[in-house]
Structure 1
Amino acid sequence: VGIIPSLLGTVLIITFHSAARSSIATLNFSNMSDNIEDKVENKTVDLEEDDDDDVLLSECMTVSKTELPKHVASDDPPEEDTVDEETLPSMETCQRLTESFAEVTGTDTALAQFFLQDRQWDLERSVNAYMEGRTGGVTVLSAGDQPELVVTFDSQMPSSLKNATITTVAPTRFKLLTWNIDGIENTNLKRRTKAILKIIETERADIVFLQEMVPVVYSYMEERLQHYMFIAAGAEGYFTVMLLLRTTVHYDSHELIPFPASLMGRNLLQVEAHIGKCKLQLLTSHLESTTECTEQRKKQLKVAFARLSSASNDVNSILAGDLNLRDKEVAEIGIPTYAVDVWEATGSRQEVKYTWDLARNTNKELGGRFKPRLRFDRVYLRSAKPNHSRVNSDEPSIAVPRYFGLVGLQKVANTQSFPSDHWGLLTHYEIVAAT
């Protein structure tokens, strides 16, 4: 179980997950048994250092394409902040180290590369890090200047907790983050990906929609966000992905709806899930881009809106993503009955209106003095509806939007880049009983 506590306090919120249910334990180090204290206190971590976590997304890729994870392409994108080639082992040494790691740990060479690349091809440190992840330990996740402490405990932890409070009560709130991460742009890709990871961890979103995902970033994220379930709408080029926090959101099923006439390979990803008694239909897409494709985009939006409306009355349906929408396109089609634009439903705050904002975000530069400010990225919600048809029927749990904000507004440390050319949209919902 991975836990990211505050570095300033001694209280951790620890979650256990199983196929049957999620449990949450709140505990204080002073009330923990000695063997748990020893696991934490006997580790020394220098939070000022960032050498171990300056991860390489591409370096010493010596194994064949068939040995790589299914979402990793053998031709990794180039990076601006490359490592000094003189410090890298030879290709033969890289191959020998990956094989040695795989033999010692009982894994494979693809996983070996992740650990070895992160630790500058130091075999001993890499094996130790892998073993700590399985048996408990302390590591550091850093996206630049502000490292986060990550504590992992082994499967014996529940029996070691004496004074922890465990509850099976389902959450009464959840967060959804949707973000076009601009994975197709190679500039500072490594550093931008690390910054996005840190924001996902910091916000602890229960549901994450990502657009413009690419295979190398997908594999990197999947390895480091193992407490999320990943559902991808593709495996090549760029595609959309949905992440569900395993400890709060329970996956039921998913479906991929193609847009047959798309010129850009776009589609609609639909996932059925639930949080306690709150049933969810989750929809994400990256609709056709550019002004010239407005007619194609409107057809795709109609398909997405039809899916949003088609959920049964006891289901909360959410459509979000980089929809590339212009206000006049939405006005022509019309938002479905009972559905709301979450930005409007939470007050239409002007400071969080524009999600592709070249007046503030300098990742993309257009010629001339005009700086477009557009609301390409949107979130639509059609909440579950009370059942008044009969007495004593089970009433649905309703998701009510409470907050709409933007993330990714700060430049990535030691670069002139923001995490993406789009701002991320973070929304909060309260789960209430129908009355």
Structure 2
Amino acid sequence: MLAHARAAVNNSGVQLRLLTMNVNGLEEQRIGPRMEKLCLSILVGGDLMAALEGRATPPVPDVIVFQEMTRRAHMGQIRPHLLAAGFTLFPAKPPDGSEDYTLIAARRPWELGTTEVRTFEESPLARQYVVATLDGPAGRVRVLSGHMESLRSGGEVRLAQAMELDALLADSDLPAIFAGDTNLRDAEWAELAQGFRARDAFLMAGSPKQANATWWPEGSPRGFRFDRVWLSPGWTVEQLHTRRHGDVSDHAGVEVLLSR
């Protein structure tokens, strides 16, 4: 599934291509083949032969953020493939005692700088998010990613978590991006939207119909836009795509090309 926003690309200043995806790592069924397929799709557009023959394949993201990462997915497929493609990962190896965490990876011309993991101020599920500084040829940016509260009853908590992230984006001393699985329902977003200072990349891209859902309940054609990219002021959304990889995950990835 592919949705396009602006075709023109701004070649001046900062430009960054980012992919965010909940990889459904807690579902262990066929986890190895699923993660292998995901890496093949991201790194060579799903066409290994084209890559080997030197034919054109889709551009590889500069920055990748994965939610619901697990030790098995991390060490079995994600780490070796991304390292071979020139990415640096945080965390480099699975954190002790954690089987549900967020991973961020960057490759040249971007380099990972300072990184930290924070726990949301309000989270019965003890959800965390990553804050990373990236150093690039035209300056530094800050990238945040995480997996917000999942429970259907967690609406008030999700609102609090979204506002925490919004404050970090709006008050950041660097150009900043949040990309992750928000689990926000439409009604919750409607409640947030008017006072939200960060900008939603999907809305900036003109709300493309093909990208209006990123997660689908099992057996249901109706999807929800849980996976979002929020931006501090000053960014332009040059392109926005959704990547749906069949049985890889119950989520589609969201890929954006940003400039400023």
How many Å apart are 1:371 and its aligned residue? 4.2
TM-score by length of 2: 0.81
Residue of 82, 98, 101 corresponding to 1:225:
82
The aligned counterpart of 1:299 is 160
1:248 paired to 2:105: no
Which of residues 147, 160, 177 is equivalent to 1:318?
177
Q: Which structure's CA Rg is the greater one?
A: 1
User: Cα deviation per residue 1:302-327 (whole Å; 9 max; x = unaligned)?
Assistant: 11111111212xx2210110110112
Q: What is the CA distance between 1:279 and its match in structure 2?
A: 2.2
Question: 1:66 maps to what in 2?
Answer: none
Kindly state the Cα deviation for residue 243 of structure 1 after the two structures are TM-superposed: 0.7
Alignment check: 8 A CA contact 1:234 1:240 kept: no
Distance in 1 (alpha carbons) for counterparts of 2:147 and 2:42:
20
TM alignment of 1:247-286, pairs within 5 A: 247-286=108-147
Unaligned runs of 5+ in 1: 1-169, 359-363, 385-398, 412-417
- What is the alpha-carbon distance in structure 1 between the residues aligned to residue 128 and residue 15 of structure 2? 29
Relative to structure 1, the CA distance from residue 328 to residue 177 in structure 2 (aligned partners, 3 Å threshold; closer, same or farther) is same
Partner of 2:255: 426
What secondary structure sits across from 1:292 in the alignment? coil
Q: Which residue of 2 aligns with 1:403?
A: 239
SS of the residue 2:153 aligns to: helix
Partner residue in 2 for 1:289: 150
* Alignment-derived partner of residue 329 in structure 1: 188
Helix, strand or coil: the match of 1:357? coil
Q: Does structure 2 conserve the Cα–Cα contact (< 8 Å) formed by 1:383 and 1:400?
A: no
Rate the CA distance shift 1:172–1:280 in 2: closer, same or farther, 3 A.
closer
Report how many residues are paired.
229
Letter in 2 for 1:294: G
Contact 2:163–2:196 (Cα < 8 Å) also in 1: no
| Structure 1 residue 354 displacement after superposition | 0.4
Q: Secondary structure at the match of 2:115?
A: strand
Shift of 1:277: 2.0
Task: Give the alignment partner of residue 207 of structure 2, picking from 348, 351, 354.
Answer: 348
Q: Are the aligned partners of 1:340 and 1:382 in contact in 2 as well (CA < 8 Å)?
A: yes
Structure 1 residues 400, 268: closer, same or farther in 2, change over 3 A?
A: same
Tell me if structure 2 keeps the 8 A contact 1:278–1:316.
no
Q: Partner amino acid for 2:202?
A: W
Q: Could you tell me which of 191, 205, 211 is aligned with 2:67? A: 211
- Asked whether the 8 Å contact 2:129–2:146 carries over to 1, the reply is yes
Structure 1 segments of 4+ aligned residues over 6 angstroms from their partners: none
8 Å CA contact 2:14, 2:138 repeated in 1? no
- Give the direction of change, closer, same or farther, for the CA distance of 1:242–1:321 in structure 2 (3 Å limit): same
Q: Distance in 2 between matches of 1:250 and 1:241?
A: 15
**1:258 corresponds to which letter in structure 2?**
T
Unaligned runs of 5+ in 2: 1-11, 45-58
- Asked if residue 186 in structure 1 is aligned to residue 47 in structure 2, the reply is no
Q: What letter corresponds to residue 181 of structure 2 in structure 1?
A: D
Residue 223 of structure 2 is aligned to residue 373 of structure 1: yes
Alpha-carbon offset, residue 172 of structure 1: 5.6
SS at match of 2:249: coil
Describe how 1:17-96 pairs up with structure 2 within 5 A. Answer: none
Distance in 2, Cα, partners of 1:272 & 1:352 = 28
Correspondence 1:238 to 2:100: yes
Letter in 2 for 1:228: F
In 2, Cα distance between equivalents of 1:258 and 1:219: 24
Q: Kindly state the Cα deviation for residue 211 of structure 1 after the two structures are TM-superposed.
A: 0.5
> Is 2:21–2:254's contact at 8 Å kept on the other side of the alignment?
yes
Q: Do 1:309 and 1:336's aligned partners in 2 also have CA atoms closer than 8 Å? A: no
Q: CA RMSD in A?
A: 2.2
In 1, Cα distance between the equivalents of 2:167 and 2:100? 25
Seen in structure 2, the aligned counterparts of structure 1 residues 171 and 224 have a Cα distance that, compared at 3 Å, is farther
